[in-house]
Amino acid sequence: MKITVQSSKVLKPAYDGSVPSVATNLATPLTMFDKVTYAENVNGVCFFHPPVPSKSSLETGFVKALAAYREWAGRLGVDANGDPCILLNDAGATLVEATADVALSSISPLEQTPDLQSLCQSGGGDNGEEVMVVQITRFACGSFAVANTLHHLVGDGHGMCRFLMAWGNATRGATVDRIPVYDRASIFKPRNPPRVDFEHRGVEFTKPRPEQKARIINRVNCSDTVVVHRVHFTPEMLSELKSQGSAGAARPYSTLQCVAAHLWRCITMARRLDGNMITKLKIPVSGRERMHHPPVPEEYTGNVVLWAQPTTTVRELVASPLRHIVEIVSQEVARINENYFRSFIDFASSGVVEEEGLVPTAALAKAATDRSAAIFVSNMKGVPLYELDFGTGQPLFLFTRSYPPVDGFVFIMPNLSSDGGMDVQVGLFARAMDIFKDYCYSLTTANAKL
């Protein structure tokens, strides 16, 4: 597949006559939730039915959406106090238009391969570069792809999706209401007096150790390749997992928790780890649904995510029935409630992080070696990308990814499957992938060995 870039331009927000003037010297500080997320770009690609919208309608819709969501037209920087922030300078975002010399069907099924990297631009976010780059690729058959590269410090999956949907609406000619740029710091004020009721050292924050720095070097020098496999769970597989995971429970556990527990176990077995090792599953929990006093504004763009971190030994994980693993996951997810979110806000606002030289654990997450026992889940299932529409209906298919792919990173995708199933993208070292597939699709651990 050959991708040819036809044009690339930085587009700035276009305000209509209802906005007489917009200040471009403002800044909104990053919150504690922004600071503890992954400080990197996130890529996603959505594929659509033909025909491709016109160049003018795409550009017009894009600048209208930027006017509604100004943060995506800004830049990362520091404010007058030297604190990290988003500069609301309306510097713009890059829109790339390209063509592919093949039909979309020729690259199906769509797996994460280096060839598909050409559908995405590398993006910026550092050194004054844009925090969003998007690429429209027209295929020879008339289908098209919309690829986005957005910086995670600016927003979570919910915030990213809202911009993309606004762009789709504006491209179709629908009205896009301007969303206020919230003073991020004011939304997450600490309590008076503050109450740190939970431990946040070693959870959201940690103090780097020398061996963690060595892991970064080891990972760079590792000769094995990380590959990505898309697992499709059919409705029958999901039903069986939910039945196994909820056996004996007072009420059924969620499908998501059962799938996450199954993947945790299968990946751990594929890695052939020592039974005494501690293994951890990091699964995101959104504060949008949990914080009510006060609630988070629905249209808020920034990050509002913490992580549940169910933990056990490799031996217990492998030897226990699925229902026990699901119970561990469920209890930990339930623990990350409003009280936990408020405790985190109070801790992060107390000055302890700066005094003790703590750093976000997310900053070290991708430094894991091939012997790491951690698994990181990115749950996109609740992000309504299936509503994205540029005039030809919902996406045919989509994927999100970390590039280059990272061992142990799992993406649970929004439901676009026509059969009602679920798609999950799993990144593993190549030597472990075939073993993982055997366990994952068999839905059993009868032959598990440590």
Catalytic residues: 152, 389
Neighbours of 62 (CB within 10 A): 23
Q: Say which residues have a Cβ less than 8 Å from residue 407's Cβ, sequence separation at least 6.
A: 226, 368, 370, 372, 427, 428, 429
Residue 398 is classified by DSSP as: E
d(CA 154, CA 88): 12
d(CA 264, CA 328): 12
CA 193 to the chain's CA centroid? 33
Residue type, 351: G
Q: Give the SS3 label for residue 320.
A: coil
d(CA 388, CA 120): 18
Report which secondary-structure segment, H or E, holds 333.
Answer: helix 322-335
**Tokens encoding 14:** 């276009």
Q: Say which residues have a Cβ less than 8 Å from residue 411's Cβ, sequence separation at least 6.
A: 377, 378, 380, 399, 400, 401, 424, 425
Neighbours of 404 (CB within 10 A): 11
d(CA 93, CA 61): 13
**Tokens encoding 8:** 């690339």
Q: Which stretches within 132-254 are classed as H helix?
A: 157-171, 184-187, 210-221, 235-246
Pick from 84, 94, 93: which is nearest to 37 by CA? 84
Q: Give the SS3 label for residue 426.
A: strand
d(CA 130, CA 125): 5
Q: Give the SS3 label for residue 350.
A: coil
d(CA 390, CA 377): 29
DSSP annotation string for 169-200: HHHTT---PPPP---HHHHTPPPSS----S--
**Cα radius of gyration rounded to whole Å, the chain:** 22
